[in-house]
Amino acid sequence: MHLRACVEQFLAHSEAKWSPRTKLAYAQDLHLLVDFLESVGIRTPEEVTLRELRAFLASQMSHGQAKSSVARRLSCIRTFFDYLQQEEQIPQNAARLLSSPKRDKTIPRHYYQEEMDQLLSRISGNDFASLRDRALLEFIYATGVRVSECVSLDIGDVSLEEGYALVRGKGGKERYVLLGRQAQDALERYLLARRKRASTEALFINQKGGRLTDRSVRRLLERRIAEVPGLRSLHVHGLRHTFATHLLDGGADLRSVQELLGHASLSSTQIYTHTTKDRLAKVYQKAHPRSERKS
């Protein structure tokens, strides 16, 4: 069977257990691989060897792809060839012999407490857009949900009275997230305005009453950040980083943060074990015997 046909068969086989975004990512990665393999004269899965797979990953690195992106593509390729092996289209999975590139350790971009307060307090109007935007950003900051999880929520997934929401994360896994008092208050005000516009069960809606999209939330955040003088730009996923960082800075344990974020592995949560400069300075001043400044 031709490689392209194998890819389509694999995507169709896995569709039920993936989100649309995951399927799109896998399709893009595998089509890139097939394009490369065809360029070197390989068109069937049994022709693929370790050498070609290694050459593909090297070409990705040479074209400036981040190590994290290359590692994700390798994971996708491994899964694809696992499927082909299970279907007895290849005798063994050569991709399992490849090591993932070591990722550079970076501190996730996030807002400090004062910056987050500036962003949220700036949204103070009583019009629909202001009520929705304040509720949306308070919700993301209070819960640490991914933007895709946020926009997929329906009204019935949230209990304001009990202060929680039921979120469906990666792989369809469900988890409960908690709402703080300010997020609850903002949602209560927004939901009153929402009733007049909603044409869907979606929790967060646009001006026409339809469900907000990932892209709409990104544009919304960019616009709100631009309204705060001097506030640095931050991607919407940075609000998730901010949530995790502030919990850990406040004394939350890593396991609890892992559960709230919906991470399958504790190693994914450990990137947040950095400390802010302010917290580090306070710890130093309190603990070091020569930290006091001369008056």
Catalytic residues: 146, 170, 237, 240, 263, 272
d(CA 125, CA 132): 10
Which class for 166: exposed (0-12), middle (13-18), buried (19 or more C-beta within 10 A)?
middle
Query: How do the residues of the chain divide into helix, strand and coil, expressed in percent and rounded to 5?
Result: 60, 5, 35
d(CA 203, CA 190): 10
Cα 31 to Cα 14, 28, 53, distances in angstroms: 16, 5, 14
d(CA 73, CA 34): 12
Tokens of 152: 């997929």
d(CA 134, CA 155): 17
